[in-house]
Amino acid sequence: MIVAGVDVGSRTTSALILGDSEILSHSVIPTGAESVKTARKGMKEALRGANMSLDDINYIVATGYGRVLVPFAHEIATEIWCHARGANLYFPAVRTVLDMGGQDCKAIRVDANGNHTNFAMNDKCAAGTGRFLEVMAETLGLPVDDIGELSLQSKNEARISSMCTVFARSEVNRLVRRGIDKKDILAGLHEAISTRVYGLLRKVGVEEDFVISGGIAMNIGVVRKIEEKVGLKALIPEEPQIVGALGAALIARERAKGFETPGKARLP
Contact positions vs another protein (CB under 8 A): 33, 103, 124-126, 131-132, 135, 162-167, 170, 174, 177
> How far is the CA of 12 from the CAs of 9, 146, 149, 230, in angstroms?
5, 18, 22, 27
- Residue 258's region, left for phi above 0, alpha for psi from -120 to 50, else beta, is left
Residue 160's nearest CA partner among 131, 194, 129 is 194
Q: Is the CB of 49 or the CB of 199 nearer to another protein?
A: 199
Q: Is the CB of 17 or the CB of 216 nearer to another protein?
A: 216
> How far is the CA of 45 from the CAs of 155, 212, 248, 255, in angstroms?
43, 26, 17, 24
Nearest distance, CB of residue 216 and another protein, angstroms: 16
Which residue stretches of the chain are H helix? 35-50, 79-90, 130-140, 147-152, 165-177, 182-204, 220-230, 243-255
CB 196 within 8 A of CB 128: yes
Nearest distance, CB of residue 97 and another protein, angstroms: 23
Q: Is the CB of 155 or the CB of 177 nearer to another protein?
A: 177
Q: Is the CB of 196 or the CB of 229 nearer to another protein?
A: 196
Nearest distance, CB of residue 170 and another protein, angstroms: 7
Nearest distance, CB of residue 166 and another protein, angstroms: 4
Nearest distance, CB of residue 163 and another protein, angstroms: 6
Q: How far apart are CA 18 and CA 12, in angstroms?
A: 20
The residues near 166 (Cβ < 8 Å, ≥ 6 apart) are: none
